[in-house]
Structures are given as structure tokens and as C-alpha cells.
A and B are shown apart, each in its own frame.
Chain A
Amino acid sequence: MTARSAAGEAARREGVGARSLARQLAGIVGPRNVVVDPAELLVYECDGLTHGRVCPELVVLPGSTEEVAAVVRVARDANVPLVPRGAGTGLSGGARPVPGCAVVSLSRMRRILALDLENGWARVEPGVINLDVTRAVAGDGFYYAPDPSSQSVCSIGGNVAENSGGAHCLKYGFTTNHVLAARVVLSDGAVVDLGGPAPDAPGYDLLAALVGSEGMLGVVTEVTVRLLRKPETTRTFFATFPSTDEAGAAVSGIIAAGILPAAIEMMDRLAIVAAKAATGLDWPDVGAALLMDADGPRAEVEHVSARAIEIARAAGALEVRVPRDEAERQLMWKGRKSAFAAVGRISPSYLVEDGVIPRSEIARVLRDIARLADEAGLRVANVFHAGDGNLHPLVLYDARVPGEEERAARLGGEILRLCIRYGGSITGEHGVGAEKAAYMAEQFGPDDLDTMQRVRCAFDGAALMNPGKVFPTPRLCGEKPGPYRPHPAEVAGLAERW
């Protein structure tokens, strides 16, 4: 037995309490960076989803990879689960604590470590805010492409864990397409480097598994992200329609014409009302609106943008507005990006869903959602990434009315089932987290989930990292594969041997 695990054994025998753990962690990160005060722990009880709060045992805020590794070793020896946390803006309860856990907050690790514009990358600590990467290089004409609506507050570490997307991922891809390398602390305290600035590192693409793994494979302590040159030209237009049917037809028409918009976003009547209330934009009261960006070299963009406007008109657009200048364009986008929060202006409470359907089914699915909402006696506002069929139904309710919250949650669940029925997904960008784990078993079969869990076992055999998330039922690592199950054909003696 090594000295370390011997100490762990001894500690376990004595029944180490939270205080002793806190003392050990304070020895690593300094007393100021361990939070045990119940009042201070409150903010860590949830992420962007404020229900289902769980109080962690404590919160530790390491300042370096070495400190993270030391923290992980102590936690492992004490058998204390760890829940990594970035900015806490997640919308699936991914950073929600589990009973008895230590939250590892990466919010102190927010340095930009290196910029290499020649090779197009930035190496950052995980607590760096998404938009700050772009800010650091915008002066040189570069940017970081993934642009979640929360980009001014969410962290790169959180983005990596959730494989976050944004309005512009239709053309540019998601976080996974923009991460070149990562440094990760595994549950055994080992520090591993995956990928690098050079492409095609030999071996398995473990980075692919890491991105989107929701904090279950390890604590990410450094990320190298790709930087892109800002496109030469961007053309934006805002088009209104009588209903989401015509808007949906316009989206399909634009895609069918061979156009790849940089972004194409849809809002329905309720979302437009909300955005107007929040921003004072002079948008008309219509059934639906589209906001589209085309970007790239000048002539290509002018051509594409003009063509898309023609298609929108032919599909039944009531009005097409082209912003006069960048300020007006920014305002249009502000209307779109603030739509979630804006819904707060027209409803005391609301629930944000996130599901994906095949793009060509948008109009039908929106009608199905409206029907489900009617049946539940609730309103649903829709504001979403139309180009990739990523819906964000906002279920409006009043928590003060008895039973309404439960009805809203049920409606949210029905909408997810609708997405599965249409061949889509229960999440396009917010992740599964604690919130949707139960639905995983509806989208995937047991063998699919078992295969994913084996990936987790390869990284975290101890199941120390963010346990209980994503999967409806955990799998113990090192489980002996079950006895060989003969196929019926073999039992019937049909299979030949050789």
C-alpha cells in the first residue's frame, strides 16, 4: 500500500468529517479558498436551474492545475465525490451538488495563458469567461466562434463540459469543433494532456470524449481553443411572417438553395412580444420572425444575402428589415439574445427547454407544442436556432398558483418526448445534467448507455467526478462482463462453427 492510500485508509477508519477534510484542503489552497460557511454555501446549491437545490459539504477554489490535482487526491482518499463548477450558468443542473460532495469551483483560474495568432489558438484557464477570449484578440481581427447567449458570463471550462453551442454554430460548429487541446486532472490525481496545437495526435481522440462529458471524466484545468479571423463581411436581415409555418418554409427554402447561413434564428409571437418589452425594439406584432446572418467574403455574402431575402419573400414574409449600420444590427441581435430573460417580463416564472428536431419538421412540431400547451392550460414562447432545429420552448407559468409548476414541468417533459418521436434529441446544447438523466433512457437503449458508461470507467473508475449525472442508472466500473449470452440462432443450432 502506498503512503497516500494508507493515510486514506486510516482517515476513513477514523471517519473523517467535513472539518478535517476542509483542513486538509485548506492546506492545499489556503483557508480563504475553502468555503464551509452555510450562508456562503447557498450560492453553490444550484446552477442556472434554481430548483432541486443540494447543499455541498464544502466548496474548494483551487488556483492551479497542481492544486486541483492535490485536491482530487485528498477527495479520493476520503471518498468524497467532486462536482466541478464553472460560472454556474448551466441549465441542466450539471453543476448541482450531490449530497456529501465537495464542489470544485474553477472561478479563480481565469488567466489567459498564451495567445498564438500565427497558429490561431489561445490557451486559457477554465474559469476564463467565453467573451473574454474574443475580447483579448478582437483588436487583431480574431475571435472565438462558439457564442452561447450566456457568453458574457459562462466559462470556457463549462463550455467544454457542455459542448456549448450558440447561434453561429450552424456554420461554425460547436465547442467540440474549436477545442485543440486540454489538460485534465483525472480522479486518480493524474494530470493528462489531450491533443495539441498540431492536428491529428496519434491514438484515440480522447478530446472528443472529453468535450460534452459534463464534468464526469475529470477536472479540466487548461483549454487550448481555436481562434478564427473575423469574417470580412456580415449581412443581417430580420423578416416577419404571419405564422411560424411561413417562417419554417423560409428556413427550409434557404437551406435548399444551397445557402449555409452563419446563423438563422426564429422567434414566435410570444417571444417577439417579450423581446420588445425588454429592449424597446420597434418590432411589429406578428406571428413569427427570422433573424439571419450571412458572413464571409464580400461578393459571396452579398449574393447569398440577396438570394435569402428573395426566398423569405417568396415564402410569405410580411416585411424584411436590413439594419442600416452595425449599431442597429447589434440591437437586433440583442433582441434575440435577451429573449430568454425577456420572457420574465410577461410571466412570473418560466422554464427553459432545449430539444432538437429535424429542421424540416419545425412547423409541425411547433403546432404540436402549441396543442400540448393548450391541453396543459399554459403558454409556451419559442425562440430558437432554426437552422439546426434546436428548439428552446419557454414554458410560462406562475409558481404561486398551486399545481402550475408541476404542470409546467410535465409539459416540458412532453416536449422532450416529442423531440425524441421526431427522431431528434433531448438536448442540443444545455446538456443532460441532473435534470434530464431520466429521459436518456428514452432516447438511448441500455446497450448505448452501457457503452458510454464504459468510456467514463476508462477515465474515472472510482466514479468520483460529478456522479449521478447524465445516466439514469450508474454502472459500476470493473463489473465483470456478464456471462456470454448465446444468440437464439446459436441455441437453435443454426450458427456454424469454424
Chain B
Amino acid sequence: MSGVRAPVDGDAVLGLSPRVALEPASLDEAADAMRALARDRAAVTFVGGGTDLELGAPPARLDAVLHTRRLDRVREHAPADQIVAVEAGMTVAALQRHLAPHGQRLALDPPHPERATVGGVVAANAFGPRRTRFGTVRDLVIGVTIVRADGVVARGGGKVVKNVAGFDLPRLLCGSLGSLGLLAEVVFRLHPLPEASATVAVPGLAPAEVRALARAALDARLDPVAMAALQEGDRFRLAIRFEGFGPGVHEQAERLLALDARGERIEGADEAALWARHDALRLAGDVRAKAAFPPAALEGAVRALEPVVATLAAGALVLHPALGIAFVAGTLSRAEATGRAIAAARPALRPGNGSLVLAAAPAALRAVADPWGDPPPAVEVMRRLKRELDPDGRLAPGRLAGGI
């Protein structure tokens, strides 16, 4: 079988080393590889760009890693229909480069687009600031081809945006972290590249002011593509981005400036730099957590998260006020204290089904804090779903919430 090699150091996942590494270069090879793993009852973890392997718990067993990097082709791009079918190992940046000459993009802007693969982004449910307008992977994926644990190739969804034939496998696989099957191919709906872009940034805001201004923008019926507040000392700078046609972007930016006199309009290279700072802040250090809460609970969430930030070196928060998401990032200095702060923050975030998930954490922190928190309410159904699709528990066992 081609695409099999001995493992190297870089193949380890959260400290576990596999016995073998697989690098299929086609759907057929991927299916062959999965069948061979089934025959050997081998436990496998899938690796895309390897940017987000720290998300979740370490796998309970690891015999093999399957890299998708050689599955890196655009299968079909129909510009007039605004859809693209792409192999899972293609990076987001490579896909965007393919689409841009057609005036199109995948409206998804996760961190590290040069390394992150579309399969990894779907499996990790990764997103960036444009989620405010375009939603998550689940709002953009319209079809998938998976290879199941038993090596069977199955498709769900299709190549048209509107489609309710059969159960929604594509959306069900979003965020499944490779525990239900290998995503081999993904079909996305696309959006036009905007003609113009502008960001208005308002510095010096307390959390309550972040929420109030975000709300005022929405109440004014503005339609921003992104809203994020970056921590600067004990204050926040709220950045609100508009994209679209020139006249629309201009008018919206002006109207936002009229809402808050402290605002500053930023365009061009400065705008790109501001949003790059957002990504950098979100990813700084070795501890990263994502808190989710109903948007109106923003101040409460910040109060719950501040003690966590305080235990980290160079800790900071990034708030997404329209989404009800906050990212915590920083460098671990006192694992025990951080663990205690996380344990204390979780109940405070729980109302409205909020959560605090560790996206990355050194082993010392993992030893004292569960990456997911309490098992989700429907964990029994989730276990049954896992058993249906992976009866022997060989796909990234134990990585998901509830030990799935």
C-alpha cells in the first residue's frame, strides 16, 4: 500500500507516538488505509495542518496517524453556482488563492490559513471574526465525503446549497474532531469577494460599553461582517468591520462613527494589521480557552474569566460581543491556580448553556483541568452515535466532551 511510512517525532499527538503514519493521496487510497486500519483494529487520529491538535483531550489510544496533506486538490469549482468541492487536506489559504481570481471566497477566516486545512477546520469547527456575518463552518458546508471507521466511503448533502434530502451528515460532522470518520472531501457554498472594506475601532471601552456599542450598531440596523474587542490593559478596543460595495461600506462606517465620537476609521494596510493583531492576541501563549455565553451576558462572562486571565503570564481576552464568545490566551505560570480559576468560572458561565473549553493547554494544566468541563446534557445520545459509526472506538477515542 502506498502512502505508509514510519512515524517521525512530529507525528506525536499530545505526547502520544503512533506506530505508523499514513499519507493517502486519493480517496481510494484513504479508503484502503482505513480498511487496513480496521483489519488491524488500530486506533487512528487524523491530522490536517496540525495547527489544532491540542484541542480536546489526548486520545486514549493511538496506533496510527493519518495525514491529509496529500489530499490537496480542488475537485470542482463552479463559479456561477458559487460552490467548490475540495479535498480535505487543502489549506484554507490555497483554496482562497484558487477562488480569488473568480471574485469569490470561502467566507471563513480561521487563524493560520496557510497551515489549517479545510478538513481540520470543519472537524475543529474553527472560525474567525467574520463569523459575525457569515456564521460558522456549519453555515457554509453543503456536502461531505467521509471514510468511515470500517473503510466505507459515504456521502452526505450534495453540491447544491438548498437540499433537504436525507439526514444532514455534513453539519453533524462539524466539530466532530475526527471521531466519527475521516473527512475526505468537503463541498462549500461560496461568497463574492467584497468590493470595499473598512473598520471602525473604538478604544478605551469597559466590557459594558463594548456590549452597549455593539448593540447600538445592530439596533441602528448596520450589518457588520465582524465585531471583536481586543484587551488593552484593563480596557478594550472594539473593532467593527464592514464589507460590501463602496457606497454601503462608506455609509455604514460614517454612521458608526456618529454613534461614538471616540471611533477611528481604519482602512488598507492598517486595517489588515489590526485584524492580524486580533488573530495574534487570540493565539498568544500556550494556554487558550474559548468561553461561550448568551451575548447579553458579556460583562458576567468577563467577570468570570478575569481571574483565569490573572493567573496567566501576559494573559488577555478577545471578545466577540455579537456572538457571545470570548477567547482567553496567555502563558501558563501557575497551573494549580489556573485550574482553580477555570473550575470557578465554569458554573458562572453555565446559564444559557454556556461553556468554557480549553483549546490548548500544557500537560501541567491538563492534569488539573478537564478540557471540556462537565459532560453535555445529551451525552448518552452522543455515545450511541459514536458507537454506531465507530463501534470499536478506534477514531480519536476519548478526545471529545464526555470522554467520547
Query: Taking beta carbons and an 8 Å cutoff, which residues of A are in contact with B?
Result: 116, 118-120, 162-163, 165, 169, 173-174, 176-177, 181, 186, 190, 192-206, 208-209, 211-213, 229-232, 252, 255-256, 258-260, 296-304, 307, 356-360, 385, 388-390, 423-432, 436, 440, 443-445, 447-452, 454-459, 461, 470, 481, 484, 486-487, 489-490, 494-498
A256: chain B residues at CB < 8 Å are 79-80
B146: chain A residues at CB < 8 Å are 451
23 contacts between A and B (CB under 8 A): A118-B295, A119-B295, A169-B162, A176-B171, A186-B381, A196-B352, A196-B353, A196-B354, A204-B172, A204-B400, A300-B248, A303-B245, A357-B160, A358-B160, A424-B163, A425-B162, A427-B165, A440-B165, A440-B166, A448-B154, A458-B387, A481-B150, A487-B151
Q: Can you add 17 more A-B contacts, CB < 8 Å, to A358-B81, A458-B388, A498-B19?
A: A119-B295, A165-B162, A181-B353, A194-B377, A198-B292, A200-B175, A203-B379, A203-B402, A213-B168, A258-B194, A299-B248, A356-B162, A445-B154, A451-B156, A455-B388, A459-B381, A484-B38
Given A204-B385, A209-B167, A300-B244, A198 and B372 contact (CB-CB distance below 8 Å) = no
Provide the bound-state CA to CA distance between A373 and B344, in Å: 67
Provide the bound-state CA to CA distance between A448 and B82, in Å: 24
> Is there an interface contact between A447 and B19, defined as CB atoms closer than 8 Å?
no
Give B400's nearest chain A residue, CB to CB.
A203
**Chain A: minimal CB distance from B35 (Å):** 5
> Is there an interface contact between A255 and B80, defined as CB atoms closer than 8 Å?
yes
> Is there an interface contact between A205 and B138, defined as CB atoms closer than 8 Å?
yes
Q: Which of A118, A165, A440 has the most CB of B within 10 A?
A: A118
Contact residues of B between 133 and 161, Cβ < 8 Å to A: 135, 138-139, 146, 148, 150-156, 158-161
Contact of A229 among B156, B218, B376 (CB under 8 A): B218
Provide the bound-state CA to CA distance between A208 and B164, in Å: 12
> Is there an interface contact between A208 and B174, defined as CB atoms closer than 8 Å?
yes
Interface string of B341-377 (1 = CB under 8 A from A): 0000000010011110100000000000000110111
B32: chain A residues at CB < 8 Å are 487, 489, 495
**Residue B169 at the chain A interface, CB threshold 8 Å:** yes
**Residue B40 at the chain A interface, CB threshold 8 Å:** yes
A457: chain B residues at CB < 8 Å are 384, 388
Q: Which of A174, A443, A451 has the most CB of B within 10 A?
A: A451
Contact of A452 among B156, B159, B164, B372 (CB under 8 A): B156
> Is there an interface contact between B221 and A231, defined as CB atoms closer than 8 Å?
yes
> Is there an interface contact between A202 and B357, defined as CB atoms closer than 8 Å?
yes
> Is there an interface contact between B162 and A255, defined as CB atoms closer than 8 Å?
no
**Chain B: minimal CB distance from A234 (Å):** 11
> Is there an interface contact between B401 and A431, defined as CB atoms closer than 8 Å?
no
Interface string of B30-49 (1 = CB under 8 A from A): 01100110111000000000
B295: chain A residues at CB < 8 Å are 118-120
**Chain B: minimal CB distance from A248 (Å):** 11
> Is there an interface contact between A360 and B81, defined as CB atoms closer than 8 Å?
yes
Contact of A192 among B78, B172, B381, B401 (CB under 8 A): B381
> Is there an interface contact between B192 and A423, defined as CB atoms closer than 8 Å?
no
> Is there an interface contact between B252 and A163, defined as CB atoms closer than 8 Å?
no
> Is there an interface contact between A427 and B172, defined as CB atoms closer than 8 Å?
no
> Is there an interface contact between B4 and A425, defined as CB atoms closer than 8 Å?
no
**Residue B290 at the chain A interface, CB threshold 8 Å:** yes
> Is there an interface contact between A193 and B354, defined as CB atoms closer than 8 Å?
no
Provide the bound-state CA to CA distance between A232 and B295, in Å: 22
> Is there an interface contact between B245 and A300, defined as CB atoms closer than 8 Å?
yes
A201: chain B residues at CB < 8 Å are 292, 353, 355, 376
Contact residues of B between 220 and 245, Cβ < 8 Å to A: 220-223, 244-245
Given A444-B166, A454-B388, A173 and B139 contact (CB-CB distance below 8 Å) = yes
Give B250's nearest chain A residue, CB to CB.
A299
**Chain B: minimal CB distance from A259 (Å):** 8
Contact of A200 among B1, B31, B325, B373 (CB under 8 A): B325
B171: chain A residues at CB < 8 Å are 176, 205, 208-209
> Is there an interface contact between B166 and A192, defined as CB atoms closer than 8 Å?
no
Give B245's nearest chain A residue, CB to CB.
A303
A208: chain B residues at CB < 8 Å are 138, 168, 171-172, 174
Contact of B166 among A174, A195, A211, A452 (CB under 8 A): A452
Given A119-B294, A455-B172, A428 and B163 contact (CB-CB distance below 8 Å) = yes
Contact of B164 among A431, A454, A456 (CB under 8 A): A431
> Is there an interface contact between A358 and B78, defined as CB atoms closer than 8 Å?
yes
Give B180's nearest chain A residue, CB to CB.
A204
Q: Which of B251, B252, B293, B378 has the most CB of A within 10 A?
A: B378
Give B296's nearest chain A residue, CB to CB.
A118
**A-B pair number, CB within 8 angstroms:** 306
A190: chain B residues at CB < 8 Å are 380
> Is there an interface contact between B245 and A194, defined as CB atoms closer than 8 Å?
no
Contact of A425 among B103, B158, B354, B404 (CB under 8 A): B158
Provide the bound-state CA to CA distance between A359 and B154, in Å: 25
**Residue B25 at the chain A interface, CB threshold 8 Å:** no
Provide the bound-state CA to CA distance between A359 and B78, in Å: 10
A385: chain B residues at CB < 8 Å are 162
> Is there an interface contact between B248 and A455, defined as CB atoms closer than 8 Å?
no
**Residue B268 at the chain A interface, CB threshold 8 Å:** no
Nearest first, the 10 closest Cβ-Cβ pairs linking A and B are A196-B353, A300-B248, A208-B171, A258-B192, A232-B221, A299-B251, A360-B80, A202-B401, A203-B376, A454-B388
Q: Which of B79, B156, B388 has the most CB of A within 10 A?
A: B388
> Is there an interface contact between A494 and B251, defined as CB atoms closer than 8 Å?
no
Provide the bound-state CA to CA distance between A389 and B189, in Å: 13
Given A194-B378, A203-B378, A427-B163, A495 and B1 contact (CB-CB distance below 8 Å) = yes
A193: chain B residues at CB < 8 Å are 353, 377-378
Provide the bound-state CA to CA distance between A459 and B250, in Å: 50
**Residue B193 at the chain A interface, CB threshold 8 Å:** yes
> Is there an interface contact between B245 and A423, defined as CB atoms closer than 8 Å?
no
**Chain A: minimal CB distance from B187 (Å):** 11
Give A390's nearest chain B residue, CB to CB.
B162
Provide the bound-state CA to CA distance between A455 and B387, in Å: 10
Provide the bound-state CA to CA distance between A456 and B250, in Å: 50
Contact of B355 among A202, A448, A495 (CB under 8 A): A202
> Is there an interface contact between A423 and B382, defined as CB atoms closer than 8 Å?
no
> Is there an interface contact between A198 and B352, defined as CB atoms closer than 8 Å?
yes
> Is there an interface contact between A458 and B40, defined as CB atoms closer than 8 Å?
no
**Chain A: minimal CB distance from B322 (Å):** 9
Provide the bound-state CA to CA distance between A486 and B31, in Å: 12
A203: chain B residues at CB < 8 Å are 375-376, 378-379, 382, 400-402, 404
Provide the bound-state CA to CA distance between A459 and B383, in Å: 10
B31: chain A residues at CB < 8 Å are 487
Provide the bound-state CA to CA distance between A445 and B158, in Å: 12
A429: chain B residues at CB < 8 Å are 162, 164
> Is there an interface contact between A487 and B35, defined as CB atoms closer than 8 Å?
yes
> Is there an interface contact between A252 and B159, defined as CB atoms closer than 8 Å?
no
Give B174's nearest chain A residue, CB to CB.
A205
Contact of B148 among A186, A451, A489, A495 (CB under 8 A): A451
Provide the bound-state CA to CA distance between A497 and B63, in Å: 13
**Residue B176 at the chain A interface, CB threshold 8 Å:** yes
A260: chain B residues at CB < 8 Å are 191-192
A300: chain B residues at CB < 8 Å are 223, 244-245, 247-249, 251-252
> Is there an interface contact between B354 and A258, defined as CB atoms closer than 8 Å?
no
Provide the bound-state CA to CA distance between A489 and B167, in Å: 32
**Chain B: minimal CB distance from A201 (Å):** 6
Provide the bound-state CA to CA distance between A300 and B155, in Å: 39
B293: chain A residues at CB < 8 Å are 198
Give A258's nearest chain B residue, CB to CB.
B192
Provide the bound-state CA to CA distance between A174 and B384, in Å: 27
Give A164's nearest chain B residue, CB to CB.
B164
Given A431-B164, A443-B165, A458-B385, A200 and B247 contact (CB-CB distance below 8 Å) = no
> Is there an interface contact between A177 and B135, defined as CB atoms closer than 8 Å?
yes
**Chain B: minimal CB distance from A226 (Å):** 11
B150: chain A residues at CB < 8 Å are 481, 484
> Is there an interface contact between B82 and A498, defined as CB atoms closer than 8 Å?
no
Give B81's nearest chain A residue, CB to CB.
A358
